[in-house]
């Protein structure tokens, strides 16, 4: 309250408690619907989902252009865009970038706290989730800056739950005379690169690496190794020669999946895992050295990855390999059958 404006109480009046919530907080005031690529509102919906505001004229934001370029060039698909309308006007939107393997990344706008559009955004996300489950998605994911807590209620209303904070790390590809000396007891490893005929071997290596893993272990019960590989192939530019399985006596004990980023001279470690019996034997160091060498072979200047903040051992390992923190994102996930409900628990009232 501003100091120069007296409250009702100071005027000696009593306010009557309202039994009617503001119209913006009533779901009946919103019209949520799918927006297809031939809809006149499609361009505006993309901007509202990615940037939080509508475009000026016919111009598109660079982030929207990149999103469209990625979905046109690769296996990613952009078919689920839902907008929330008030009084016939599109005011907020959310979309799903569908990846092979039955997963999708939900893009939501960076709305400020107490923004009246938060409810509409939550309703759009819930509609997206319902549509995704009807298309046999296995999982939806949202990545947000940790400080963006105002979307938590909207996500819960749509059936999402907080998973963990992902720490994004990077390191430059500089010659390091000490790299070779970090390898102990891995001389007997042999390496297999990916091909379609080797898919079962890679699936088995991934499956073994999931056992007692501390890196987002909740996901292992949601996606099969086959689905995980399909999703990883869609990350960046897939090159089979950058995917490796480490064998010891023909036993798959390690897996390394690398991908070149589309617009940066960076190679991303999409997935790296070691079978439980082989942990602590130097296999992780061998995988990381292989990643550094492979990144140099494609003229990359840096390596990047993301790890679960709860995985203390992995964080110590990456620190030893001179990775530094580049950012943090809060990961929220939803699976079929988890559509939330309006009410006090969700923070929204219908």
Mind listing the pLDDT tens digit for each residue in 23-51? 445 667 899 999 999 999 999 999 999 88
- Res. 202: pLDDT tops 80: yes
pLDDT band, residue 240 (cuts 50/70/90)? very high
Helical packing angle, 42-50 and 62-73, nearest 10°: 110
Residue 155: give its domain's CATH number.
3.40.630.30
What's the angle, vertex CA 269, arms to CA 219 and CA 259, rounded to 5? 105
Q: What is residue 206's DSSP assignment?
A: H
Q: What is the mean pLDDT of residues 231-235?
A: 87
Residue 133 CB partners (closer than 8 Å, separation 6+)? 336, 337, 339
Buried b (16+ CB within 10 A) or exposed e, 13-34: eeeeeeeeeeeeeebebbebee
* CA-to-CA separations, 347 to 114, 148, 343, in angstroms, rounded: 12, 16, 6
Q: For residues 274 and 203, state if they share a domain.
A: yes
Q: For residues 27 and 134, state if they share a domain.
A: yes
Q: For residues 154 and 205, state if they share a domain.
A: no
pLDDT band, residue 287 (cuts 50/70/90)? very high
**What are the backbone angles phi and psi of residue 279, rounded to the nearest 5°?**
-70, 140
Distance between CA atoms of residues 137 and 203, nearest Å: 20
Is residue 12 in some structural domain?
no
Q: For residues 241 and 134, state if they share a domain.
A: no
Is residue 30 in some structural domain?
yes
The region of weakest confidence among 25-39, 174-188, 233-247 is 174-188
Q: For residues 96 and 69, state if they share a domain.
A: yes
Q: Could you say which of 137, 164, 191 is where a domain stops? A: 164
Q: For residues 192 and 56, state if they share a domain.
A: no
Residue 107: exposed, middle, or buried by beta-carbon count in 10 A (0-12, 13-18, 19+)? buried
Number of domains composing the chain: 2
Q: For residues 193 and 298, state if they share a domain.
A: yes
Residue in the block written with tokens 């620190």: 319
Task: Name all contacts of 126-129 with Cβ < 8 Å and 24+ positions apart.
Answer: 126/157, 126/158, 126/159, 126/339, 126/340, 127/32, 127/33, 127/34, 127/82, 128/80, 128/82, 128/94, 128/95, 128/96, 128/158, 129/158, 129/159, 129/160, 129/334, 129/338, 129/339
pLDDT band, residue 60 (cuts 50/70/90)? low
Q: For residues 224 and 280, state if they share a domain.
A: yes
Q: For residues 155 and 191, state if they share a domain.
A: no
Is residue 328 in some structural domain?
no
- Res. 11: pLDDT tops 60: no
Domain enclosing residue 150, as ranges: 23-164
Q: How many alpha carbons lie under 13 Å from residue 24 in its C-beta half-sphere?
A: 9
């Amino acid at each position: 309250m501003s100091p120069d404006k007296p409250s009702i109480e100071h005027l000696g009046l009593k306010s009557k408690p309202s039994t009617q919530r503001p119209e913006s907080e009533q779901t009946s005031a919103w019209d949520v619907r799918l927006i297809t690529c031939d809809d006149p509102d499609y361009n505006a919906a993309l901007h509202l989902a990615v940037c939080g505001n509508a475009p000026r004229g016919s111009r598109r934001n660079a982030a929207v252009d990149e999103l469209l370029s990625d979905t046109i060039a690769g296996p990613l698909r952009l078919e689920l865009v839902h907008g929330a309308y008030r009084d016939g006007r599109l005011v907020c939107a959310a979309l799903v970038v569908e990846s092979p393997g039955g997963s999708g990344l939900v893009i939501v706008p960076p709305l400020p706290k107490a923004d009246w559009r938060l409810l509409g955004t939550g309703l759009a996300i819930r509609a997206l989730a319902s549509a995704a489950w009807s298309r046999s998605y296995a999982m939806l994911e949202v990545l947000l800056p940790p400080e963006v807590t105002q979307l938590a209620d909207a996500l819960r209303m749509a059936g999402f739950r907080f998973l963990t904070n992902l720490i994004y790390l990077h390191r430059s590809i500089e010659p390091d005379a000490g790299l070779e000396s970090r390898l102990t007891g891995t001389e007997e490893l042999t390496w297999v690169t990916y091909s379609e005929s080797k898919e079962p071997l890679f699936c088995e290596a991934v499956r073994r690496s999931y056992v007692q893993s501390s890196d987002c272990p909740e996901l292992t019960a949601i996606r099969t190794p086959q689905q995980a590989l399909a999703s990883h192939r869609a990350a960046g530019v897939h090159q089979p020669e950058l995917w490796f399985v480490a064998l010891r006596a023909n036993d798959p004990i390690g897996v390394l999946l690398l991908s070149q980023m589309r617009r940066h001279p960076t190679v991303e470690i999409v997935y790296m895992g070691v079978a439980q019996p082989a942990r602590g034997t130097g296999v992780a160091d061998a995988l990381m050295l292989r990643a550094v060498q492979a990144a140099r072979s494609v003229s990359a200047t840096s390596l990047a990855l993301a790890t679960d903040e709860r995985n203390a051992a992995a964080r110590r390992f990456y620190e030893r390999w001179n990775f530094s923190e580049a950012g943090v994102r809060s990961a929220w996930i939803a699976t079929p059958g988890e559509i939330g409900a309006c009410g006090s628990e969700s923070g929204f009232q219908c």
